[in-house]
């Protein structure tokens, strides 16, 4: 089945450690996105990528890093510089181009700093 897979579903991290969230899609979509969801704040864009080896900062990129070495994969690293990393993280993808297609979302990763 085609779709977007995020792993793991739950992740625990000690303060001061970096952690990487996985996002893989087999939809042959060009663009991929990372969003952060906090209670009462909706979804906020962290990073996005339009093509392989290219990505842009979103609204809240500080403390995060990404890579896009393959079309199918867009991992997000939450670094120790992120001051409040506990949140729900959603990955999305869409076919490139302005018209027609909506973004498809993964099932999310809940990150908790302990």
Partner 1 sequence: AQTVTQSQPEMSVQEAETVTLSCTYDTSESDYYLFWYKQPPSRQMILVIRQEAYKQQNATENRFSVNFQKAAKSFSLKISDSQLGDAAMYFCAYRSNDGTASKLTFGTGTRLQVTL
Contact 112, 8 (CB under 8 A): no
Q: Is the peptide bond before 8 cis (omega within 30 degrees of 0)?
A: yes
Choose the stretch contacting partner 1; rule: CB under 8 A; options: 10-18, 20-28, 30-38, 74-82: 30-38
Closest separation in Å from C-beta 86 to partner 1: 15
Instruction: Write the binding mask 66 to 105 for partner 1: x where contact by CB under 8 A, - elsewhere.
Output: ----------------------x-x-x-x-xxxx--xx-x
Please say which residue, 16 or 100, places its beta carbon nearer to partner 1: 100
45 binds partner 1 (CB under 8 A): yes
CA distance 111 to 76: 12
Nearer to partner 1, 13 or 95 (CB): 95
Question: Angle at CA 8, nearest 5°, toward 29 and 83?
Answer: 95
Cα gap 64→46, rounded to integer Å: 8
């Amino acid at each position: 089945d085609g779709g977007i897979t995020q792993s793991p579903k739950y992740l625990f991290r000690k303060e001061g450690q970096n952690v990487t969230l996985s996002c893989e899609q087999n939809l042959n979509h060009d663009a991929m996105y990372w969003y952060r969801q906090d209670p009462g704040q909706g979804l906020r864009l962290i990073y996005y990528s339009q093509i392989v080896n290219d990505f842009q900062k979103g609204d809240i990129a500080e403390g995060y890093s990404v890579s896009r070495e393959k079309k199918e994969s867009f991992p997000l690293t939450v670094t120790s510089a992120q001051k409040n990393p506990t949140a729900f993280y959603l990955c999305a993808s869409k076919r490139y181009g302005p018209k027609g297609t909506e973004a498809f979302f993964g099932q999310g990763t809940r990150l908790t700093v302990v």
